[in-house]
Structure 1
C-alpha cells in the first residue's frame, strides 16, 4: 500500500512505481495530478467510491485499460474531475512546456495507438476498455463536456446508452463496442459535430440508427452484431431478415426496366419472324408436293357434304 494523501505533492508520479508489482492500494487525492496511465497491468477488483472531495480535480487523461478491474464505475470520481468539464483550453500549451520533464505517453484514440511526446493541456481522454466493469454506464459522464475520447469497450456494461452523451460537444471518439448494452441509440447523438469515430458493435441494441450529420459517415462495422438494429448503413428495414444486403445501385435501378423492355420486344419479334418463315416453308411444301393428296381430301369432303344435303331434302 502507498498512501500519498494530505500532502502538497506536485508533478509526475515516479516511473519507478512500475516496479512495485505487488502493490494493491494507492491512496491519495493528488489534486494536481493531470495524467494517470495504468494500462496493461494486472490490476483487479472494484474501484471504491472516493472517501474525500476533490479527488483528481485536475485530471485530464486516465487510462486503466487492459486490466481486470470489475464492479461499477464509481460516479463519485467522475463528479470531481472538474478539468474535464471545461470546453476548450484557455491557453493552448503543453503540459511539459517548461521543459523540466521529458515525458511521453501512448494512448489509443479512434482505434489507433498513438504516442504523445508532447501532451496538449486541453486533451482529455478516458479509457476504461478491456476490463470487467459492469452495470449501467454512469449518466454523469455527460457532464464532462471537455472530453475528446471516451472508450468503454470490451466490458460487461448493461442498460442503455445515456442520452446525456449529447452534452459531450467536443467528443471525437466514442467506443462502446463489445458490451451488453440494450435499447436504442439516442438520436441526440446526431448533434455531436466533431464525432469521427463511433462504435457500438457487438451489443444488444435495437431500433433505427439515427441519421444525419456525422452518422452518415460511419461504416457498417460501427453497428454490426446488433440483431435489433436497422437502417442505414446496415441496409436493413425493421422486420427484414438478419442478413444485410446492400441497396441496389442507381445504375441498376435505372437500367433494369429498360433492359427488360428491350429483351421483351426482341423475343416477340424473333418469335413472329420464326413463325412466319416456318409457315411459308411448310405451306410451300404442302401446296407443291401434296396437291393430289389435298384434292382427294377436300374433294372427298365436298362429295360427302353434297350427299348429305340431298338426303336431307328427301
Structure 2
C-alpha cells in the first residue's frame, strides 16, 4: 500500500489521518470489511482516541505496532469492529475496554498481552466474534464474566489460563466456534456444555489438563465438524458415541486414555478427512469398516494395543496422504494384494509408518510404485529377504528406515538413485530456456541391525543431502569408502559391528566447502567404528602397516586437503580439543582468505 512508502516520522500523523478516514467514511453497516493498514510500526500510545467519537471500525491487523493499549481506547463508544491482531502489543488489556458497548467483532490475536482478562469484557453484550488467542493472558474471576448471548466465535487459544473450565461459556448458546487449546485448564468438562452448545461446529481443547470420563452426551453436539481433544487426560469408551456425530471431518483424540475393543463404528464417519487416535489404550483390530471413510487423507493409530493384520479395506482410501500404524501389535505378512492395490489407488500416499510391530515376510517389489512417498519406516519388525531394487523408484524419499529387521543380501545400489528432477523456465532476451537439475533429497538411511553383507555401495557419496547414515550391526565387508568424505554426516555415521577392513580413509576429513572447512571426522567417537576388527588408523588406536613403514609429519594434513596452504600452523592438538566435544567443527575461512 502507498502508506508503506512514507517516512517513519510521518507514521504517527498517518495513523491519525486513517483513523479520521475510518470515522468519516467507513460504512458502519459493514464492520467486517474495514480499511486495513499494513507495513506500519511504532506505537499507538500517542493516539488521542477522544478526537474520534464517531469511529466505528479500527483495523491495525498485521503491522509491527508495539507498546501498550491505553485506557483512552474506552472513549471509542461507537466502535463496532476492532482488530489489533498480529502486532507486538504488550502490557495488560485496560479495563476501560469494557466501555466498547457496541462492539461486535474484537480480536487481539497474536500479540504479547499479559495479565488477567479484564472482567469488564462482560459488557460486550453485542459481541459476535471475540479472539484473544496467542497472548500471555491469565485467568480472571470467571464468575464475574456473564455469558454473551450473541457470541458465535470465541478463542482463548495459546494463553496462560489455569484452573477449571470457564463457566460463562456454557451460557453462550449461539457459539459455533470454541478454541481453548494450549492452556493449562484442568478438571472435567461440565455437562452443561454438551446440553447447551448444540450449535458448535468447531471444538478444540488440545493441550490442556482436562480429565475424567468424557460424557456420552457429546453426541448432542451433532453439528460438529471439527473435534480436537488431544493431549489431555480424558478416559472412557467414547468412540461409539463420537461416531454418531456423522458430519465430523476432523477427529483428533491423540495422547489421552480412551479405551475401546472395537473400532467398527468409525465406518459411520463418511465425511472424515483426518483421524488421529495415537497414544491411547485402544484394544482392537483394524476393522474393514475403516474402508468406508473414503475421504480420509490422514490416518494415525500408532501407540495403541491394536492387533491382527492389515485390513484389505485400507486400499479403498484413495485420498490417503499419511498412514501411521506404528508401535502396536500388528503382525502377519504384507500380502501381494496390498502393494498391487495401493499403487493403483493410493497415489497420494506420502508417509508410511509401520515401525515397531511384528510384521513378517518379504518386502515386495511393488513398493517401488508408491512414487510420492517422502518417508518410509518399516523398522523394528520381522521383515526378511532382500530390499527390492525397485526402492530406487521412490524419487521423492527423504527418510528410508528399515533398521532392526531380518533383512539380508547386499545393500541395493538403487537407493543411491533416490532423486528427482526439477525444472524451471527462464526468459533471456525474449528466448525461453529450460533449466533442469537433479536434486538428491534423501536425508536419512538406517539399515542397522540386519544381516546385510557385501560392500557399501560406492555411489552412496552421491547423496548430497544425507545427514544420518547407519549401517551398523550387519555383516558388511570391504573398506570404508572414500566417497563417504563427500557427504555431510556430522555425528550420524554408524558403521560399527560389521566386518569392514582396511584403513579409515583420511578423506573423511575432506568435508571442505567454499567458506567452511569441516573437520567432522575427528568429532566422531570410536563407537562409530567399533567391532570392525580389520580397521586401522585414527581414531582407532591401531596403526596401519603402511603407517609403521613411513610415518607422516604429525601436524600437516595430506596435500590434497591443504592444497592452498591455508591450514599451515593448525596443530592437531587444537583438533583433538574440539574432538572432545563430540560436535561438528566448522572453521569459517571466507572472511580471512585474501
TM-score range, shorter chain: 0.5 to 0.7
TM-score (structure 2 length as normaliser): 0.32
Which deviates further from its counterpart, 19-28 or 173-182? 19-28
Q: CA deviation at 1:10?
A: 3.5
- Residues 225-266 of structure 1 deviation map (CA, whole Å, 9 limit, x = unaligned): 1123443265999967899426699xx95479xxxxxxxxxx
Q: Distance in 2 between matches of 1:4 and 1:221?
A: 41
Q: CA deviation at 1:217?
A: 4.1
Which deviates further from its counterpart, 155-164 or 238-247? 238-247
Matched, 1:226 2:469: no
Q: Structure 1 residues 253 and 229 mapped into 2: Cα distance closer, same or farther (>3 Å)?
A: closer
Q: CA deviation at 1:9?
A: 2.7
Matched, 1:35 2:322: yes
The structure where helix makes up a greater share of residues is 1
- 8 Å Cα contact 2:410/2:455 also seen in 1: yes
Q: Which runs of 5+ in 1 are unaligned?
A: 85-123, 257-314
Residue of 369, 386, 403 corresponding to 1:136: 386
Q: Distance in 2 between matches of 1:205 and 1:81?
A: 29
Q: Distance in 1 between matches of 2:332 and 2:531?
A: 41
User: What is the SS of the residue equivalent to 2:323?
Assistant: strand
Q: Distance in 2 between matches of 1:154 and 1:22?
A: 20
Residue of 344, 349, 361 corresponding to 1:71: 361
Aligned to 2:298: 12
The structure where strand makes up a greater share of residues is 2
Aligned to 2:481: 210
Q: Distance in 2 between matches of 1:198 and 1:39?
A: 22
Q: Distance in 1 between matches of 2:293 and 2:554?
A: 76
Aligned residue runs from structure 1 range 1-314, under 5 A: 1-3=287-289, 8-13=294-299, 21-26=306-311, 27-29=313-315, 30-50=317-337, 52=341, 54-76=344-366, 78-84=367-373, 124-168=374-418, 169-212=440-483, 213-215=485-487, 217=489, 222-232=494-504, 234=529, 244-245=540-541, 254=553
- 8 Å Cα contact 2:336/2:364 also seen in 1: yes
- 8 Å Cα contact 1:193/1:214 also seen in 2: yes
Question: Which has the higher relative contact order, 1 or 2, with Cα contacts under 8 A spaced 6 or more apart?
Answer: 1
Q: Structure 1 residues 207 and 220 mapped into 2: Cα distance closer, same or farther (>3 Å)?
A: farther
Q: Distance in 2 between matches of 1:178 and 1:236?
A: 14
TM-score (structure 1 length as normaliser): 0.58
Aligned to 1:308: none
Q: Distance in 2 between matches of 1:225 and 1:20?
A: 33
- Would you say how many aligned residue pairs link Structure 1 and Structure 2? 213
Q: Structure 1 residues 218 and 253 mapped into 2: Cα distance closer, same or farther (>3 Å)?
A: same
- Residues 61-92 of structure 1 deviation map (CA, whole Å, 9 limit, x = unaligned): 1111111111101222x1331313xxxxxxxx
Larger-gyration structure (1/2): 1
- 8 Å Cα contact 1:129/1:151 also seen in 2: yes
Aligned to 2:558: none
Q: Distance in 2 between matches of 1:236 and 1:22?
A: 37
Which deviates further from its counterpart, 135-144 or 206-215? 206-215
- 8 Å Cα contact 1:198/1:218 also seen in 2: no
